[in-house]
A and B are shown apart, each in its own frame.
Chain A
Amino acid sequence: MTDPILETRGISKNFGALVASKDITLDLRRGEIHALIGPNGAGKSTLIQQIAGALRPDGGRIMLSGEDVTPLGTAARARKGMGRTFQISSLAMEYTVLQNALLGALGQRGDVFRFFRPVARDAQLREAAETALARVGLSDMHHMRTAELSHGQRRQLEVAVALTLQPRVFLMDEPMAGLGTEGTTQMVGFLDGLRAEAPILLIEHDMDAVFALADRISVLVYGEVIATGTAAEIRANPRVREAYLGEEAAI
Chain B
Amino acid sequence: MIRESTLNAALLILLLAVPLAALLLDEPFIITLATRAVIFAIAGVGLNLALGFGGLVSLGHAAFFGIGGYAMGILAYHAQTFTPIMEWPFVIQGTKAMPVIWLTAVVASAIAALGIGVLSLRTTGIYFIMITLAFGQMLFFFTISWPAYGGEDGLSIYVRNGFAGLNTMDPITFFAICYGLLLAVLWLVSRIARSPFGLALGAARQNEARIQAVGQRPFTLYLVAFTISGAITGLAGALFADLNRFVSPTMFSWQTSGEIMVFVILGGVGRVFGPVAGAAMFIFLEHVLGGLSEFWHIYLGAILLGIVLFARGGLIGLVSGREVADD
Q: State the A residues within 8 Å of B (CB).
A: 52-54, 73-76, 78-79, 84, 86, 90-96, 98-100, 102-104, 106-108, 110-120, 122, 143, 145, 161, 165
| Alpha-carbon distance A127/B207, docked complex (angstroms) | 24
**A74/B206 in contact, CB under 8 A:** no
- Of chain A, the residue at the smallest CB distance from B203 is A92
Which of A91, A143, A145 gathers most chain B CB within 10 Å?
Answer: A91
- From A75, A92, A102, A119, B216 is in contact (CB under 8 Å) with A75
Which residues of A sit under 8 angstroms from B195, Cβ to Cβ? 114-119
Which residues of B sit under 8 angstroms from A91, Cβ to Cβ? 207, 210
**B216/A111 in contact, CB under 8 A:** no
**B297 at interface, CB cutoff 8 A:** no
Q: Which 3 A-B pairs have the closest CB atoms?
A: A107-B214, A78-B215, A79-B215
**B202/A112 in contact, CB under 8 A:** no
Interface size on B, residues (CB 8 A): 27
Main secondary structure on chain B at its contact with chain A?
helix
**B209/A115 in contact, CB under 8 A:** no
**B214/A90 in contact, CB under 8 A:** no
- The minimal Cβ–Cβ distance linking A87 to chain B, given in whole angstroms, is 11
- From A54, A102, A103, A106, B210 is in contact (CB under 8 Å) with A103
Which residues of A sit under 8 angstroms from B326, Cβ to Cβ? 95-96, 98-99, 102, 120, 143
| Alpha-carbon distance A117/B190, docked complex (angstroms) | 11
**B325/A103 in contact, CB under 8 A:** no
What are 15 of the A-B contact pairs (CB < 8 Å)? A52-B213, A53-B212, A54-B212, A74-B209, A75-B212, A75-B215, A76-B215, A93-B206, A95-B203, A103-B203, A107-B215, A113-B196, A117-B195, A119-B199, A165-B214
- The minimal Cβ–Cβ distance linking B49 to chain A, given in whole angstroms, is 11
Q: Which of B201-238 contact A (CB under 8 A)?
A: 202-203, 206-207, 209-217, 221, 224
| Alpha-carbon distance A236/B8, docked complex (angstroms) | 69
Given contacts A75-B212, A90-B210, A113-B224, 19 further A-B contacts (CB under 8 A): A52-B213, A74-B212, A75-B216, A86-B213, A92-B206, A93-B206, A93-B207, A94-B202, A100-B203, A102-B326, A103-B199, A112-B216, A114-B196, A115-B197, A116-B192, A120-B326, A161-B213, A161-B214, A165-B214
